[in-house]
Amino acid sequence: MKRIGLLIVFFYCFLSAKAQIHELGFFIGGSNTIADIGPTKFVYANSPALGLIYKWNITTRYAIRASLINSKLKSYDTYAQDLSRFNRFIAVDNTINEFSLGFEVNFFEFNLHDDDKEFTPYVYAGVSYFAYDLLEIPLRHPAPGFPIEKVGGEMDLSIPAVVGVKASLSPLFVLSLETGIRYAFTDNIDGSAPDNTALQRGAAYNNDWYVFTGFTFSYTFGQIPCYCKEKK
């Protein structure tokens, strides 16, 4: 039991000494969809995205991360390279609110205790829960570029995969640039796959994706020193 207690104390001190520090900041950037309506470019931000972000840096390499992002998801057939999409003239205007939780991994040591400037690429993965408008495309539309009708709201899951780079501006502030694609567990973010099969458009069983690209600016706080006493 004594050895187990010593191991617990050592593990706690290791985490505290390494990088037990928190980050709280905001995300500002843009969003786009990859779905059955509009262009299929992976990074094609066409609508503002804003959010909050929190990180608990367990070590200089690993962090638990949570974020909350709000954005419009817009997509227009008039910008599609595919001629069949271009000729439909359908426009998507959805609203999304996403909560995401997962792990961020730095490629290099990123020690916020150090006064020197730090820099590293990083990746993030986890799970996201998002709310969005439930849309429906009428069989007939009045004019080119018409917006899809909103008929309710829905919630679903997605899997985020984010890559980015970050740098410490000082021991207190961190600036990051990232882009992250989300695989949604639905094919109806763009309203192309409603329950009414007569109104379905696009490829069946081909789920939608959405992307956030932008900057994060965070303030660091909460450094916890190790108070382990040496045995005399």
Going from N- to C-terminal start, the domains of the chain cover 20-221
Q: What is the predicted pLDDT for the residue at 129?
A: 98
Would you place residue 117 in the very low, low, confident or very high pLDDT band (cuts 50, 70, 90)?
confident
Mean pLDDT of 59-72: 96
Can you list the pairs that 91-94 forms with residues at least 24 positions away whose Cβ atoms lie under 8 Å? 91/37, 91/145, 91/146, 91/147, 91/148, 92/33, 92/35, 92/37, 92/38, 92/135, 92/147, 92/148, 92/189, 92/190, 92/191, 93/147, 93/148, 94/33, 94/132, 94/133, 94/135, 94/189, 94/190, 94/191
The CATH architecture assigned to 20-221 reads: Beta Barrel (2.40)
Q: How confident is the model at residue 52 (pLDDT cuts 50, 70, 90)?
A: very high
pLDDT value of position 151: 75
